[in-house]
Amino acid sequence: MRRVVEAAAPYLFGLGALVAWEIAVRLTHTPPFILPGPLAVGAALVQDFPRLFPALVFTVGVTVSAFLASASLGLLLALVMTSSRWMERSLFPYAVILQVTPVVAIAPLIIIWVKDTRLSLLICAWLVAFFPVVSNASVGLRSADPNLVSLFKLYGASPLQEMVWLRLPSAAPFYLAGLRIAGGLSLIGAVVAEFVAGSGGDRSGLAALILEAGYRLNMPRMFAALLLISIVGVLMYALLARLTALVLCNWAPTK
Amino acid sequence: MSADPKPLIAVEGLCKVWPNGGEALRDITLALPSTPQFLSLVGPSGCGKSTLLRLIAGLERPTRGTIGWPSAAAPAIGYVFQEPTLMPWATVFENVYLPFKIAGVSRRASRDAIMEALRGVHLEDAADRYPRELSGGMKMRVSVARALAPRPKILLMDEPFAALDEITRLKLNNDLLALWEALGMTVIFVTHSVFESVYLSNRIVVMAAGPGRIAADLAIEAPYPRDEAFRASALYADACVQVSAALKRAMGEAS
């Protein structure tokens, strides 16, 4: 019984908050263009679905491609950097510079330079998401047990054998942790870039829809779009957490 | 020790100085006969026992002096570290397969050798399990099986049982002796336990620290096989007193 209550606790809390929200909005007669109640948001979600769904597909498309680009290019860059000290010394400062420069500040430039809106958004989102992958994967590639490194040396392993059979598997927990961060960041990057780009005709995503809804004081639609963005973020995280658990199920709980 | 015209290992005037100027070993000269020997290196911490082992394994380069293999070109070496040093992402079988994998031998061709090594450490039923499912003693057994599977001529062990509890350690000592007698190889066993070294070895080299050098070279003449009765014998007690005295002298010299 206790366990049932414990499992249901977050849902009950959420439901309670929604009910309180709806009651508060009704009691204070708050107009929907200031704060819509959850029922109005739900109605907007259903009514505006034909507009919301393509925007959702667009944003998810940009987010997922930026994530995949971060995951692959980030690992590649980490491999290059850990292969030689010189490479790391030369490249890492620029990776840091790209990371610390706010994406809002470079997004306008990228949007001007790159003709294709979708591609420019993808680049912005990638710039936000790739750094945790690179830095985590680099740490991971260097984290192989020194005794195992000795053992590989003792048995005369080639650098490629050592990379594939020792360094890459040793890096997996670190890399996966980087991916979990990158998942959320690629969504944030995609949304921020879209805000900067504004609504670009019919091919635009949820953030552009939020902007447009804001101009029109259509708060229920804005909230509906916001809700969808949150759901995408949560799903992304849950999927990556599941992947991590799946890959690392046989590893020691610590180390 | 009578001079052997063709020893297995001939260490001549070996010195090791670290890049920071610290002197790890000074003028080590040591010959191991081609007949299987169980040699223990005993000494205070910091006397360079592990460094000597790493030098013999070829994992470090000597600053001066040579390590020669007069009876054969550098023979196969097995190495067991203080930690089990297993790959957490691989099954017991895959861990023991590592030396063969690096050498390019297929799983099928090495299967018999791997299973025999696992039988030797009483883990034939654990082949498909992962390290996290094993106790500390079992992990150490896997580590020993991995070192023995390719049938090395020389087994180097760096305080392999130091982290285990007393009961597990005694059991592993007996298993190790049985394997040593069955396989006919030379073992160099680093330990800081006088009792462990006397129980196992037929030769004990006592080292002194600061810089690491050989302080005494003692033969333990008790016959094999040895069992718990040996621990109660006068011979065992005498040898322990002798080695302890040598160790005390060695530590007195250093301070």
DSSP for B106-123 reads -HHHHHHHHHHHHHHTT-
Cβ of residue B89 closer than 8 Å to a chain A Cβ: yes
Kindly state the average pLDDT of the residues A187-201. Answer: 82
Kindly state the average pLDDT of the residues B113-141. Answer: 94
State both tokens at A54.
Answer: 């393509």
Q: What is the mean pLDDT of chain A?
A: 90
CB–CB of A250 and B77 under 8 A? no
Chain B residues inside the 8 Å CB shell of A246: none
- Provide the chain B residues 132-161 that lie in CB contact (below 8 A) with chain A: 132
Q: Taking 90 as the threshold, does the pLDDT of residue B25 lie above it?
A: yes
The 3-state secondary structure of chain A reads CHHHHHHHHHHHHHHHHHHHHHHHHHHCCCCCCCCCCHHHHHHHHHHCHHHHHHHHHHHHHHHHHHHHHHHHHHHHHHHHHHHCHHHHHHHHHHHHHHHHCCHHHHHHHHHHHCCCHHHHHHHHHHHHHHHHHHHHHHHHHCCCCHHHHHHHHHCCCCHHHHHHHHHHHHHHHHHHHHHHHHHHHHHHHHHHHHHHHCCCCCCCCHHHHHHHHHHCCCHHHHHHHHHHHHHHHHHHHHHHHHHHHHHCCCCCCCC
Cβ of residue A144 closer than 8 Å to a chain B Cβ: no
- Provide the chain A residues 159-218 that lie in CB contact (below 8 A) with chain B: 161, 165-166, 169, 172
Kindly state the average pLDDT of the residues B60-77. Answer: 88
Which pLDDT band, with edges at 50, 70 and 90, does A116 fall under?
confident
- pLDDT computed for residue B233 by the predictor: 92
- pLDDT computed for residue B156 by the predictor: 97
Chain B residues inside the 8 Å CB shell of A155: 98-99, 102-103
Kindly state the average pLDDT of the residues A102-120. Answer: 87
CA–CA separation, B65 and A192 (whole Å) = 65
- pLDDT computed for residue A255 by the predictor: 40
Digit-coded pLDDT (tens) for A148-168: 999 999 999 999 999 999 999
Q: Which residue has the higher pLDDT, A197 or A119?
A: A119
Angle subtended at Cα A157 by Cα A155 and Cα A159, rounded to the nearest 5 degrees: 155
Digit-coded pLDDT (tens) for B108-117: 999 999 999 9
Mutate to test the interface with B, among A151, A246, A247 (most CBs of B within 10 A): A151
Distance from CA of A178 to the nearest CA of B (A): 19
Strands of the sheet with B203-208, listed across from one edge: B77-80, B154-158, B186-191, B38-42, B203-208, B213-219
Under the phi-then-psi rule, with left for phi > 0, alpha for psi from -120 to 50, and beta for the rest, what region is A116?
A: beta
Digit-coded pLDDT (tens) for B183-214: 989 999 999 899 999 999 999 999 998 889 99
Cβ of residue B73 closer than 8 Å to a chain A Cβ: no
| ipTM attached to this prediction | 0.91
CA–CA separation, B191 and B202 (whole Å) = 14
CB–CB of B79 and A154 under 8 A? yes
Kindly state the average pLDDT of the residues A58-63. Answer: 95
Which pLDDT band, with edges at 50, 70 and 90, does A106 fall under?
confident
**Which range in A214-218, A249-253, B4-8 is most confidently predicted, on average pLDDT?**
A214-218
Cβ of residue A148 closer than 8 Å to a chain B Cβ: yes
- pLDDT computed for residue A199 by the predictor: 57
Digit-coded pLDDT (tens) for B4-20: 678 899 999 999 999 99
Q: Taking 90 as the threshold, does the pLDDT of residue B62 lie above it?
A: yes
Which pLDDT band, with edges at 50, 70 and 90, does A201 fall under?
low
DSSP B212: B
Q: Which amino acid does the sequence have at A234?
A: V
Interface A–B counts its CB contacts (< 8 A) at 51
CB–CB of A147 and B85 under 8 A? yes
Q: Taking 70 as the threshold, does the pLDDT of residue A202 lie above it?
A: no
Q: Taking 90 as the threshold, does the pLDDT of residue A70 lie above it?
A: yes
Q: Taking 60 as the threshold, does the pLDDT of residue B48 lie above it?
A: yes
Which pLDDT band, with edges at 50, 70 and 90, does A98 fall under?
confident
Q: Which residue has the higher pLDDT, B38 or A86?
A: B38
Q: pTM higher than 0.90, yes or no?
A: no
Which pLDDT band, with edges at 50, 70 and 90, does B250 fall under?
confident
Q: Are strands B23-32 and B38-42 parallel, antiparallel or unpaired?
A: unpaired
Q: Taking 90 as the threshold, does the pLDDT of residue A105 lie above it?
A: no
Q: Could you tell me how many helices (H) and strands (E) chain B has, helices first?
A: 8, 9
- pLDDT computed for residue A103 by the predictor: 84
> Residue B83: which of A147, A153, A155 has the nearest Cβ?
A147
Which pLDDT band, with edges at 50, 70 and 90, does B253 fall under?
low
Digit-coded pLDDT (tens) for B49-59: 999 999 999 99
Among A5-9, A222-226, B40-44, B198-202, whose mean pLDDT is lowest?
A5-9
Q: Taking 70 as the threshold, does the pLDDT of residue A254 lie above it?
A: no
Q: What is the mean pLDDT of chain B?
A: 92
Cβ of residue B94 closer than 8 Å to a chain A Cβ: no
CA–CA separation, B139 and B168 (whole Å) = 12
- pLDDT computed for residue B252 by the predictor: 81
Q: Taking 60 as the threshold, does the pLDDT of residue B23 lie above it?
A: yes
Distance from CA of A150 to the nearest CA of B (A): 7
Chain B residues inside the 8 Å CB shell of A164: none
> Residue A148: which of B77, B85, B130 has the nearest Cβ?
B85
